[in-house]
Amino acid sequence: MGCEGSVMGDPDNEYDSTWDDEYEEEQFGMMRVPKQRACTTPRNLQAARDMQNFRHRCRYHSHAYQSNGQVTRQVSNRCQNLLFYQNRIPSRPDDVYIEQFHTYWFGDYTRLERVHSYIQWLFPTQEPGVNNSAHVLRPAEIRHFEEDVTVKKRLLKSYVLMLDFYGIELVSEETGKVQRAVNWKERFENLNRNTHNNLRITRILKCLGLLGFHHYQAPLVHFFLEETLVKGTLPRVKQSVLDYFIFAVLNRSERKELIRFAFRKLMIKMAESHCHGYLCLSDLTLPDSMSNLRASIILGTTVVVFTIFTINLHVNRAP
């Protein structure tokens, strides 16, 4: 099996990963995996590039704000996402104002599942989606979202609405901690049945990072890691968690901890399933110094999902 051989069979490789600081890379010349060595599917390479580009754009806009100072208070007619969240224009093509959406769509699970045009309005990002009537998030809008208290409260309501749709509830507005809702079994069945929601969740995570709720990202991703890797309740969400959700987290230290958590859980599962008596579970820890990640644990049988996840770590560079 070529992929397993190229990744797990060469413990001396050094890999570009979330732990690689770009300045350290320039100073010490960290190695990257040659393209011909990155044996994975186009989908996962695309995911790695997508999330890397997202984090780099966020960093660019953060620096731009610091350089440009205060943003103008005048809202341009081109700022359609901001105008929508100010309740001044309706979404298109649904013709629903944000206050109406929060009032009449909350808990309407059938409509939230079947209608696909609202998600870009509720959670705008700088990437287009399937609704041609929606608008990508403009750089000028981002600062307005962060400074307008009313707009931020409405975005929080949108987040709570979608969490409820997924069978999750927000425990703390301060920390972003989430937990299972009372109706989680029913809603998790819907998540496993309708995998397009994985794309929606990725968009939500990106939007949270862009619009002032980046501290909400890690708690939500950790929740999905628990449900997929530990409790096994969301098998059809697992690959998106490993490919996309983790790498949407902008805080580097939080992203490191999530990766460590996922790494340990995946390796423990491998050991329990295939290597009884062969590997000591207490040894399944990642080193504190992680300027590179070595695939130093060679097991008799390699789980494909772990291989894909490991490769994805290698090609994701932290901003």
Domain encompassing residue 270: 2-315
Give me the percent of the chain exceeding a pLDDT of 90: 56
Residue 28 has pLDDT above 70, yes or no: no
Q: Give me the residues paired with residue 170 across strands.
A: 178
Residue 107 has pLDDT above 60, yes or no: yes
Instruction: Render pLDDT for 215-247 as a digit per residue (tens, 0 to 9).
Output: 999 999 999 999 999 999 999 999 999 999 999
Q: How far apart are CA 87 and CA 154, in angstroms?
A: 10
Residue 300 has pLDDT above 50, yes or no: no
Total domains in the chain come to 1
Residues 6+ positions from 148 with CB-CB distance below 8 Å: 82, 86
Q: Choose among 216, 170, 176, 188: nearest CA to 109.
A: 188
